Structure 1
Amino acid sequence: MPDVPNKRRRLCASQDLERFEHQTEAASISQDPCSRCSNVAWSSITEELASSLDKFVASDKDSTPDQFVADVDESYQELASSHCQICQLLASLKISSPDTSPCSLRAVSAKWLFMRKQLKKHSDLMDTALLYIVSKEGQGAADNRKHLGDVLAIEPTNERSPFLSPHRIDVKSVDYDRVTDWLHYLQPLDVLDYESREITTLPSNEKYAALSYLWGTGEYKDNEEPPQVIQDSMTCIKQDDPFKGEKLRRMGKIYSEARFTIIDAAGQDPSLGLAGVAMPRQPQAHALTNGIQLSYLCKPPREEIAASPWATRGWTYQEGFLSRRRLFFTKEQVIFQCNNMSCFESFTIPMKALHKRGGSTSVKNPVLRDTEPLLMKRMKILDHLMEYRILSFFKTQNSWYHFLGNPIDPNRKHIIIEWYHLEPAVRRKDFPSWSWTGWGGPLKFTSYHTPDYELRLIPKAGEPVTFDEYIQSCDKPQSLSMEPFIRLTGKMTTITFERLQWSTNTEMSENTSIAKRALRDGAWAVLTIAENLVSYLFLYADDESLRGKAGFNLPVIILETGEQSRGKNMVVLVLRQAEGYYERVGALITRSSLDSCVMPVVNKDASGRWSTSAHLNEADKHLWLDRMKEDSVRLK
């Protein structure tokens, strides 16, 4: 990559540069450790991990071989204000951890996280220990995530690890050589001629790079100097172009066919330029103790990118979604992502450990999640569709149909109602309650195609129709005109809900099996299983008015009993009766495993003893189901 012109490499105001240089000096923390940090044998952690890892691989276990380093019971504020420089560094790890619960500092092998089953093939590579903070109550275990951020790397100062080497980030300048290496690892890169800095017609056989950024509210005309981010990235579509509309319609093709896309994940608008090119970046903290260097590997990329203004706009999300290769410029580092690997400026790992072949045909997730290639299964697209409300992607998908704006996969028709909100949402009265369009808030999908109910759509004229009948009509010149109603037929009853305060109930907190589950306070459904057993299911409320409500009854209809679904997953739709129809207000969900993100089933026997289970066993024998009656409801 050629040298960037000085004009494009200019920093912000001189006082900003001085501030960043001062922060960089402060980020290097190295003396006066507390008694706890002094007593940790930092230099032996990597060696001990390597020894235990060899035994772990030989045993062929499926968990993660991490080890305890030290107790970290202080809050983030206590760590950040400590006189101990290492404690100040640990504060960076405590931010996303449970701040009020006792935690421990643990070490995990970087080779294990990245190589797993290929460890034996790369036994010649030296390991690097990664440190992370985890709640003693079991939240955030190492085998549940691959550590990209919120970790410290232990690095011997006299010998850099050839496997994972922390890289000291220059706040003033991107490491262009490393970025070039990432791009060249996949295939040779043709450098664009940007000397004239003019937007010209692209020859059909030319390669090009694209830019994704947040335009903001400013106006930029031809006689003005282009915004800094455009100068940094060389080219973009002019916002005042008379042919802008036609070009915008081609944006999907432009971004999907670009060699790579440059994404400004740090700026509020294009005036500041790219972080590390025209704008200084946040310094990277590190510490030196007894000849051992501890380096903070920056914030988790997923959190950094998801919190950026760029990620809040559906249009820029589409640009990242369609791009095959993406260069994220964040406030801390540059990140490269493609279908086969992710690379980070904050540390170096051999490409053979990162690169995973065979992912080029899958749709990818433009928000980083882990160290694996960022592939997205077809149904995962719907999760992001819910978050960003992007329907344009499906316009060219011949196998998809739409019902009142809801995408329908002919093979998984029931996804239009089998979803739930993680937190109560805001109701949109102009849209039906059974649809995700009727609510504002993030959601997740349940099971997809093991329904224990019948769903029909209601046209403005004629009898209710099945999904197949509706889809057939969509292929005709004159399709059906539909009402915003659906008709559900299935097993119905009324359920009592109680408000349970697990956090303040001493009887429950003393039960270790309950306390470790971190159960949520709120409304729980009361289900009589047998004469001596009652089960409680957490209400995932759609309607925010149910958040603090206690002691109420609501009708429900079973979507899935769990008898047909893999893992015995149960889905129950919670309703509220209106004038002549019902509205959806929440859902009850069970999953096949206690490791699921779904709240477990909580059981209470005749003696008052509490316990948890993943799902309702032998659901067909439950007393609460005896009250069920087959019925039909109109849902709006």
Structure 2
Amino acid sequence: MSKSYLFENYWHEMITPSEAVSTLPKVLHCLFIRLSIRLALSLEAISRKREGVSTEPEHTLTAPKKSSSPELLCEDCANLDLAKALLVEEKDGGDKFAPGRWGYFNTWAVDVGHRYRVARTTNCNLCRILFKSRVEEEDLALDGDVDWIRAVSFLRFFKLLKFGSKFWHSWDFPVLMLFSNKNYDLHKNHKKIMNLIQVSGCAALQQCDQQQAVPLSLKVIPPRFDLGTFRKWFDYCNKNHGLLCRSKKTELCGTRLIDCEEQSIVEHGPGMPYVALSYVWGQPTTQREITTCNGKQLPTQLSLVIRDAMAVTQAMGFRYLWVDRYCIDQNNPTVVHQQIGQMGAIYGNAEVTIIAAAGQDENYGLPGVGRNRPGTQTVAHIGEVAVVWAAGDPQAAIKSSHWSTRGWTFQEALLSRRRLVFTEDQVYFECSAMNIFESLDIPLDSLHIKDRSKSYEDLRGGVFGRNRAAQFGRFILQKQGKGENLSQYLSNVEEYSARKLTFAKDSLDAFRGIAQQFWYRKHAVHNIWGLPYLTLPAERGLGFVYSLAWHHTTSCWDLSQSPHRRSQFPSWSWAGWEGEIRYQMPWSKHNLWSSKLFEAISFENEMGSPTTLEMIVPNIDETCDFPVMRLTAAVVPSKLISFNFNVDSDKQWRFGKYKADLALSYGSVSESQFAQDIHDSHIWQCVCIGWSGWGVTVMILKIHDSSGLWERAGLLTINCYTHNVEPMMQTWEYKSFRVR
């Protein structure tokens, strides 16, 4: 009995304690399966240790092999000569060449008429693949008389490798697509093609029975997740990646785990490796809550995702699983607060985190575990080549999943050392040194530098925690400079702000673990209410202006997506709002981008006592002690701000003779109305706070109440250089504002 068979059937053998009495034979069979899994994994580990072999299996052929059984091809498909796409001639009649040398495979095209234009019922695998590979024209008038099969570069559109990398020519291979005309402009429609391939999948053309190893190819994904695939990834990471993925574990306090063998809840202790789960909760019911008097036994009915995660945990060779619903006493606020405070350690200590990125909630389960994956993968062999329909990019699937819309799941993934992500179509693995997925068939040594400690930096980075502007960046975060650290923090804030929370009060708690990680880096980034500042007192004012210069991506008059105020938090912090934010500053590795224009800034505690930013003693437990910000800055004369009602452009706002961008979070029903309201200085004030490469930043304040408190209402960016504004500022009045 193979491990894959055991893994695939383990879910069906799981039973609950209440069923045990009436199903004794099933209990014994279940115990036999569990022992078999553990024995198989132990024997495998012992064998590897004794033989002293690499965790990377021998990889001689990665191209697909011909099927042992004949495949049915229709007459039209059988007559296609697809092999020519792998070796074509230059247009000027020159020598033959490997098409990967040029990136695009423009020199080969085949007229296929209309036969793949409309999908029809067929037993031909190639027909089904080519139906899915057609690029529809948005303008029907552009449809040609016939369709053309063309081969395009996989790497050019999948974005797996940095363009121009030394690996490009040897790794690239063609992807078949159908276009309505022979000369379809790939450059002009680059984003459209890239989106189709990454989201929907692609038809990879590969040569069969090659005599040498293929550096990169795609493969058909089986209906069930193969345990051996995970073991290959995990063992390679564990053996080769060193401190990048095996950093010192933090001591846990009062943490509980699910014992998957006993289906009970136990206290975590030293020497108890465990797996963590990140998922989206469903609607709570009494059946899912812990109802036993001692709180140590799991309920008889568990959601599909938790049952599947328990099966995967045991099949991977682990016994314990951490799930927030059952490992945190949800009815004890003190325990909840304590466990939230060590969320970074909980996920960071886990051997791997299972991420359920398929479906809408916990009732969907893990595709490929408790049930077959819904999609069917196909392969067609024609002559000496094979056409493999490969799943889309799992990174794109993760980013578009419902799981990625939830606030708490953001830090759960970022704080983990290793992630095993279950999407609808396949499984994706990411650690701190590499990322890979099921449909990608490549030797892991090929991804890594010579000592195997990390992937080549020419390869695409992971999904989790990276600066979004650094697609191919560094892996060793401790070697980042202070500018890079601050940039990455702000990038994390941008991503997190786009997510939804069930309870507004969780705005900072669901980000706390990430903020704590930056606190302990070599170039530490501290924060006040989630807004970062640098360690050295002399750099704090300059650094803090960056964190203040955020704006919402939608304004208050965008009624369907307008920002919403979270009154538990200051208005000047992004945490005080529900709504996606952005920073308008150019990312940089070495400099701090801008300069501050305000005169002074300080904070008041709950008692009203002021403290300057330079005098604050950073304390990780006291980041929310100053609800009021005192800001002294130049007030912008409102007469210089205008709105052009008649211009059909994104630049309708102006500051004197300069164009400007406005992002208003609240306070007006329309832009035209705000253009009138802004001139009432008793209600509105605009103050200069800083300058960056994008322009001068002006914070818009709105009076809050009769006590003299103001609230941050939005941001205005003036598209000019600071030297254009500084001379004017000399004549402007400086005022102090208390902003809550």
Q: TM-score range by the shorter chain?
A: 0.5 to 0.7
One-letter amino acid of the structure 2 residue matched with residue 282 of structure 1: P
- 1:561–1:570: 8 Å Cα contact kept in structure 2? yes
Structure 1 stretch displaced more, 329-338 or 252-261 = 252-261
One-letter amino acid of the structure 1 residue matched with residue 485 of structure 2: R
Q: 2:444 aligns with which of 318, 342, 351?
A: 351
The aligned runs of 1:183-582 (5 Å cut-off) are 183-187=234-238, 204-216=270-282, 217-218=284-285, 219=288, 221=290, 222=297, 224=300, 226-227=302-303, 228-234=307-313, 235-237=320-322, 239=325, 245=335, 250-284=342-376, 294-355=387-448, 366=464, 372=472, 378-379=485-486, 380-385=488-493, 386-387=496-497, 389=507, 390-393=510-513, 394-395=515-516, 397=519, 401-404=526-529, 406-410=531-535, 411=540, 412-424=543-555, 425-428=562-565, 430=567, 431-447=569-585, 450-459=595-604, 465-469=611-615, 471-472=616-617, 482=626, 484-490=628-634, 492-493=636-637, 494-498=640-644, 502=648, 524-527=652-655, 529=657, 536-543=659-666, 545=668, 549=672, 552=675, 554=678, 556-562=686-692, 568-573=693-698, 575=700, 577-578=702-703, 580=708
For the residue of structure 1 that corresponds to 2:370, the secondary structure is: coil
**CA shift for structure 1 position 426:** 1.7
Aligned equivalents of 2:695, 2:141: Cα separation in 1 = 32
Residues 209-241 of structure 1 show CA distances to partners (whole Å, capped at 9, x for unaligned) of 333233432415536155422432334247456
Aligned equivalents of 1:633, 1:138: Cα separation in 2 = 52
For the residue of structure 1 that corresponds to 2:659, the secondary structure is: strand
One-letter amino acid of the structure 1 residue matched with residue 631 of structure 2: R
TM-score (normalised: structure 2): 0.58
Identity %: 20
Aligned equivalents of 1:153, 1:242: Cα separation in 2 = 46
Aligned equivalents of 1:86, 1:478: Cα separation in 2 = 58
For the residue of structure 2 that corresponds to 1:266, the secondary structure is: coil
Aligned equivalents of 1:256, 1:574: Cα separation in 2 = 38
Q: 1:620 aligns with which of 723, 728, 739?
A: 723
Aligned equivalents of 1:283, 1:550: Cα separation in 2 = 51
**CA shift for structure 1 position 282:** 3.2
Task: Give the aligned partner of residue 107 of structure 1.
Answer: 152
One-letter amino acid of the structure 1 residue matched with residue 654 of structure 2: V
Q: Which runs of 5+ in 2 are unaligned?
A: 15-70, 91-96, 110-115, 122-126, 241-257, 291-296, 314-319, 478-483, 500-506, 556-561, 586-591, 679-684
Q: 2:228 aligns with which of 177, 197, 201?
A: 177
Aligned equivalents of 1:484, 1:528: Cα separation in 2 = 32
Aligned equivalents of 2:437, 2:710: Cα separation in 1 = 51
**CA shift for structure 1 position 278:** 0.6
Residues 500-534 of structure 1 show CA distances to partners (whole Å, capped at 9, x for unaligned) of 775xxxxxxxxxxxxxxxxxx656322554xxxxx
What count of residue pairs does the alignment treat as equivalent? 540
Aligned equivalents of 1:145, 1:371: Cα separation in 2 = 17
One-letter amino acid of the structure 2 residue matched with residue 559 of structure 1: I
**CA shift for structure 1 position 275:** 1.0
**CA shift for structure 1 position 186:** 2.0
One-letter amino acid of the structure 2 residue matched with residue 166 of structure 1: L
For the residue of structure 2 that corresponds to 1:492, the secondary structure is: coil
Pick closer, same or farther for the CA change 1:401–1:31 going to 2, 3 Å. same
Q: 1:128 aligns with which of 173, 180, 184?
A: 173
**CA shift for structure 1 position 550:** 7.2
One-letter amino acid of the structure 1 residue matched with residue 232 of structure 2: D
Larger Rg: 2
**CA shift for structure 1 position 127:** 3.3
- 1:210–1:236: 8 Å Cα contact kept in structure 2? yes
One-letter amino acid of the structure 2 residue matched with residue 164 of structure 1: L
**CA shift for structure 1 position 166:** 1.7
**CA shift for structure 1 position 67:** 6.0
**CA shift for structure 1 position 294:** 4.9
One-letter amino acid of the structure 2 residue matched with residue 495 of structure 1: I
Q: Which runs of 5+ in 1 are unaligned?
A: 13-27, 57-64, 72-77, 503-520, 530-534, 563-567, 591-614
More strand by share: 1
- 1:283–1:332: 8 Å Cα contact kept in structure 2? yes
Task: Give the aligned partner of residue 165 of structure 1.
Answer: 217
Structure 1 stretch displaced more, 437-446 or 192-201 = 192-201
For the residue of structure 1 that corresponds to 2:310, the secondary structure is: helix
Q: Once superposed, what is the RMSD of the aligned Cα atoms?
A: 5.4
For the residue of structure 1 that corresponds to 2:492, the secondary structure is: helix
- 2:545–2:690: 8 Å Cα contact kept in structure 1? no
Aligned equivalents of 2:728, 2:342: Cα separation in 1 = 54
